[in-house]
């Protein structure tokens, strides 16, 4: 996974002043560390995108998968089962 953000110059200047954060991607924000590369503005060019994509494709991604699994564990609170139970309860009330 490579995160790429490129805004117009004016939009970027506004957002840069409004956000006070090192990370902008959700995986990096959730884990509080740089897990996936972020290419922002001038770094979001064809050469850098190619380099990061090829590195990702040619490497062992087991560590990245482990980190992304941590996000799944953090966000998964058995929501599918809870949603189904709420729907069944709602149907049974009628």
CA distance 13 to 7: 9
pLDDT for 93 beyond 90: no
Q: What is the pLDDT of residue 78?
A: 84
Beta bridge pairs of residue 40: 5
Give the CA distances from residue 71 to residues 12, 28, 52, 65, 81, in Å, rounded to whole numbers and listed in that order. 28, 10, 22, 10, 19
Whether 44 and 4 have beta carbons less than 8 Å apart is answered as yes
Q: What is the pLDDT of residue 94?
A: 66
pLDDT tens-digit map of 7-64: 999 999 999 899 888 899 999 999 999 999 999 999 999 999 999 999 999 999 999 9
Q: What is the pTM of this model?
A: 0.75
Instruction: Quote the DSSP letter at residue 5.
Output: E
What are the sequence ranges of the domains in the chain?
Answer: 3-93
Instruction: Quote the DSSP letter at residue 38.
Output: E
Q: What is the pLDDT of residue 31?
A: 94
């Amino acid at each position: 996974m490579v995160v790429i953000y490129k805004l117009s110059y004016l939009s970027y200047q506004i957002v840069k002043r409004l956000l006070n954060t090192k990370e902008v991607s959700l995986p990096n924000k959730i884990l509080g560390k740089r897990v996936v590369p972020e290419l922002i503005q001038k770094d979001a060019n064809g050469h850098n995108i190619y380099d990061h994509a090829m590195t990702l494709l040619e490497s062992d991604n087991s560590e990245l998968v482990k980190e992304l699994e941590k996000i799944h564990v953090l966000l998964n609170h058995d929501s599918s089962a809870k949603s189904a139970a709420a729907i069944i309860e709602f149907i049974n009330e009628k």
